[in-house]
RNA sequence: CUGGGUGUGGCGCAGCCUGGUAGCGUACUUGCAUGGGGUGCAAGUGGUCGGAUGUUCGAAUCAUCUCACCCAGACCA
C-alpha cells in the first residue's frame, strides 16, 4: 500500500515537473536549487503582484525596500527566530576574489574576510525591526504598515520548482501597532486578504486556520495560514500571517511613548506569499494536456488560430476577426492572433492547451463563408461553432464562467476528500488515501510529533470558526473540544 | 552526511556485460508536397562519449581515482 502511494506521488511529481517545464513557466538553472522563471511564468507572477499590491494598498499599506544582507548578529537577537532559520542560511564571508596564484581561474581572497559575516535574508524581520527602532518614537508613529516585494534565500536540502527553491520571490508585510488587539486584527485582516486573493484570483479554495505551536513561524506568538488541497490530495500552505506579539520589539528594543507618556513595546505582525502560489495554481487545476490557468491570471486569455492555405486567405481571416480583436482589447481582454506561418493549426492547438490559454478561437475558410468561429474552452475542452457576430460578449462571459468553474471544480474535489477519522486504525488507513483528515487531537505537541513520525501527516491547521465538538484524541484518547486538519504536505 | 542511480550532439536515450571506424528518436537547416487536432517524404548540420590515470596493438566499453547531477532519507513556518 505504502508503495502504491509512493508511486502515485512520484508520477504526480513527474507530471508536475513536466507541466512547469513544457508549459514554459520555469526551468532548473545551473545554480544549485535555483530556478529560472521564464517570461510566461513571470507574466503570471506580475499579474499576481499587481492584484495583491492593489489589495495591500487598499488596506492602507505602503511599499518599501530593505537590504538583502543581514549582519549575523541581528539574526541571533530573537532566540527562536534564529533557531528556526539557522540551518538554511546562505552566508557571505568574503568580499573579494583574486587570481589563483596557480593560474586556475579565480579564488576567494583569504585577506578579504569580513569582520562580521552577512546573512542573505531568509526573511526580513530582523533587518526591518532594526530599522523600525529608529522610525518609531511615539504612538503617533503607529501603526506602521509596510510591505516589501523581494527575493529571499533559504538553503533547502531538497528543492522543487516553485514549491521550494533556494531563492524565491515573495512579498513580506511587516507592521507595528500600539496594542495587541490591533495587531491581531491586522494579522487576521491580511489572512482574509490572502484567502480572498486565493479564491477569487487563483480559483483556489482554501481553509483558513491557525498553526499549532510546532508548526508556528519562528518567533511568532500565533501563525495563521491558508491551506489548499492539491490534486494528489496533499496539502500546500499557500500563505501565512503571523502575530509576533512583542517578541521582535523586545529583541530590537522598539518602544514608543503612549498617550499617557509611558514607554511601551510595540506589537508586530508579518505576512507573506511567494512564487509558490504559481505552483499551487498548477497543481490545483491542470490536467494531462497541460496547464489550466484561471482567466484572471492567464497572461494570454484568448488566442485566435487561423486555418488557411494561402497568404491571401490569412489576410482575409485577419480582416474578418480584426473588429473582434479590437472589441476584446477594449474590454481589457488579452488576445493574440497567431499568424505564425511556420506552425500548423494542430500544433498550435496542442501548444496553447499546454500553456493553459483559457479560450481558443479557430477560424478557417469554411467559417468565413458561414460567418462562424469555433470556440474552445480549456477547462472542459468543449468546442462549439458559434456565430462570429456578437461573439465578444459571449467570450467575456465565458472567461468569467471558466474562472468560477475551475474554482467550483477544485472546491468539490477538496470537499469530497476531507474525511473524518474517529479511531487510530481509521486514521492510519485514511492517511494512505489522498486527501485531508479531520480528527480530534489532544492539543499536545508530543501527540502531534508522534503522529508525524508514524504517518508523515502533520496538523495543517486548526480551522478558524471551527465548530466545537466533544471528542477523543484519535491517537491518545484524551478529551478534545474540536477537530483539526491532518494531511501530508508539500 | 547515509543508501541507490545516472553522466554519450540542444533535449531524450541505446551501445558497455563479451574492447575493434559513435548510433537512434526528437529538435535544427534546405527543398517539394501538405494545412479543420502535435504533417509526409527526401537531403543535410551538429558529439574531445563528465574528468584524470592505468591495462591493451586498440577503450564510450575493463580497472582505479575524481567531479557533477538525480532519486529516497536527514532538513523544510
Query: How confident is the model at residue A7, as a pLDDT?
Result: 46
At A352, the pLDDT band (50, 70, 90 cuts) reads very high
CA atoms of A482 and A474, how far apart (whole Å): 12
Q: What pLDDT digit, counting tens, does each position of A178-234 carry?
A: 999 999 999 999 999 999 999 999 999 999 999 999 899 999 999 999 999 998 888
Grid cell for residue A368:
468565413
**CA–C1' span, A68 to B77, in Å?**
20
Mean predicted confidence (pLDDT) in A236-255: 96
Q: Given its phi and psi angles, is residue A328 left (phi above 0), alpha (psi -120 to 50 degrees) or beta?
A: alpha
Q: What pLDDT digit, counting tens, does each position of A317-335 carry?
A: 999 999 999 999 999 999 9
Grid cell for residue A103:
593560474
Look at A65 and A106; give whichever has higher pLDDT.
A65
Mean predicted confidence (pLDDT) in A251-274: 96
- pLDDT tops 50 at residue A5: no
Question: Poorest-confidence range of A17-26, A104-113, A303-312, A354-363?
Answer: A104-113
Neighbour count for residue A106 (Cβ, 10 Å)? 10
Q: What pLDDT digit, counting tens, does each position of A454-487 carry?
A: 888 999 999 999 999 999 999 999 999 999 999 9
- Chain B bases closer than 7 angstroms to a protein Cβ: 1, 34-39, 69-77
ipTM of the complex in this document: 0.84
DSSP A290: B
Query: How confident is the model at residue A31, as a pLDDT?
Result: 73
Among A455, A454, A463, CA closest to A488 = A455
Strand intervals (E) in A106-204:
106-108, 113-120, 144-153, 167-177
**CA–C1' span, A18 to B11, in Å?**
13
Among A296, A314, A294, A316, CA closest to A306 = A314
Residues 123-162 of A with CB under 7 A from strand B: 123, 154, 156-158
CA atoms of A357 and A351, how far apart (whole Å): 9
Neighbour count for residue A459 (Cβ, 10 Å)? 22
CA atoms of A240 and A280, how far apart (whole Å): 14
For chain A, state the CA radius of gyration.
26
Query: How confident is the model at residue A483, as a pLDDT?
Result: 96
> pLDDT > 70: what percent of chain A?
97
Q: Given its phi and psi angles, is residue A381 left (phi above 0), alpha (psi -120 to 50 degrees) or beta?
A: left
Query: How confident is the model at residue A9, as a pLDDT?
Result: 53
Nucleic strand B near CB of residue A287 (< 7 Å): no
Residue whose entry in the numeric block shows the C-alpha cell 490572502: A194
CA atoms of A362 and A360, how far apart (whole Å): 7
Among A378, A211, A421, CA closest to A292 = A378
**CA–C1' span, A345 to B37, in Å?**
8
Q: What pLDDT digit, counting tens, does each position of A45-92 carry?
A: 999 999 999 999 999 999 999 999 999 999 889 888 888 888 788 888
Residues 19-78 of A with CB under 7 A from strand B: 28, 32
Nucleic strand B near CB of residue A457 (< 7 Å): no
Sign of CA dihedral A218, A201, A150, A265: negative
Amino acid at each position: 500500500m505504502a508503495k502504491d502511494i509512493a508511486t502515485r506521488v512520484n508520477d504526480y511529481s513527474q507530471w508536475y515537473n513536466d507541466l512547469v517545464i513544457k508549459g514554459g513557466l520555469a526551468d532548473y538553472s545551473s545554480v544549485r536549487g535555483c530556478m529560472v522563471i521564464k517570461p510566461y511564468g513571470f507574466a503570471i507572477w506580475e499579474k499576481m503582484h499587481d492584484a495583491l499590491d492593489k489589495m495591500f494598498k487598499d488596506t492602507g499599506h505602503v511599499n518599501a525596500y530593505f537590504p538583502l544582507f543581514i549582519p549575523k548578529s541581528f539574526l541571533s537577537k530573537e532566540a527562536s527566530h534564529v533557531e528556526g532559520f539557522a540551518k538554511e542560511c546562505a552566508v557571505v564571508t568574503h568580499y573579494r576574489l583574486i587570481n589563483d596564484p596557480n593560474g586556475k581561474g579565480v579564488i576567494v581572497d583569504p585577506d578579504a574576510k569580513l569582520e562580521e559575516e552577512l546573512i542573505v535574508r531568509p526573511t526580513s524581520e530582523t533587518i526591518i525591526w532594526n530599522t523600525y527602532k529608529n522610525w518609531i518614537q511615539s504612538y503617533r508613529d503607529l501603526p506602521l504598515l509596510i510591505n516589501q516585494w523581494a527575493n529571499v534565500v533559504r538553503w533547502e536540502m531538497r528543492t522543487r520548482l516553485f514549491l521550494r527553491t533556494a531563492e524565491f520571490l515573495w512579498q513580506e508585510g511587516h507592521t507595528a501597532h500600539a496594542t495587541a488587539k490591533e495587531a491581531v486584527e491586522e494579522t487576521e485582516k491580511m489572512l482574509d486578504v490572502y484567502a480572498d486573493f486565493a479564491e477569487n484570483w487563483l480559483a483556489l479554495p482554501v481553509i483558513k486556520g491557525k498553526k499549532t505551536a510546532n508548526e508556528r513561524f519562528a518567533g511568532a506568538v500565533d501563525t495563521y495560514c491558508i491551506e489548499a488541497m492539491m490534486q494528489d490530495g496533499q496539502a500546500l500552505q499557500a500563505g501565512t500571517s503571523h502575530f509576533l506579539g512583542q517578541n521582535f520589539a523586545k529583541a530590537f528594543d522598539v518602544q514608543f511613548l503612549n498617550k499617557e507618556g509611558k514607554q511601551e513595546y510595540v506589537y508586530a505582525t508579518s505576512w507573506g506569499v511567494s512564487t509558490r502560489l504559481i505552483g499551487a495554481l498548477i497543481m490545483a487545476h491542470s490536467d494531462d494536456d497541460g496547464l489550466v490557468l484561471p482567466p484572471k491570471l492567464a497572461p494570454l486569455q484568448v488566442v485566435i488560430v487561423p486555418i488557411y492555405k494561402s497568404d491571401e486567405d490569412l489576410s482575409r481571416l485577419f480582416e474578418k476577426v480584426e473588429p473582434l480583436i479590437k472589441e476584446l482589447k477594449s474590454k481589457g481582454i488579452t488576445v493574440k492572433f497567431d499568424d505564425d506561418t511556420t506552425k500548423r493549426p494542430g500544433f498550435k492547438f496542442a501548444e496553447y492547451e499546454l500553456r493553459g490559454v483559457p479560450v481558443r478561437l479557430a477560424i478557417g475558410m469554411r467559417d468565413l463563408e458561414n460567418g462562424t468561429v469555433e470556440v474552445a474552452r480549456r477547462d472542459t475542452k468543449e468546442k462549439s461553432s458559434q456565430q462570429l457576430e456578437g461573439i465578444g460578449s459571449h467570450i467575456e462571459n465565458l472567461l468569467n464562467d471558466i474562472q468560477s468553474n475551475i474554482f467550483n471544480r477544485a472546491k468539490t474535489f477538496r470537499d469530497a476528500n476531507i474525511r473524518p477519522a474517529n479511531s487510530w486504525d481509521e486514521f492510519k488507513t485514511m492517511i494512505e488515501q489522498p486527501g485531508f483528515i479531520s480528527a480530534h487531537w489532544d492539543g499536545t505537541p508530543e501527540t502531534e510529533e508522534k503522529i508525524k513520525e508514524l504517518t508523515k501527516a502533520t496538523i495543517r491547521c486548526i480551522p478558524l470558526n471551527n465548530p466545537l465538538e466533544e471528542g477523543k484524541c484519535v491517537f491518545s484518547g484524551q478529551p478534545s473540544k474540536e477537530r483539526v486538519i491532518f494531511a501530508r504536505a508539500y
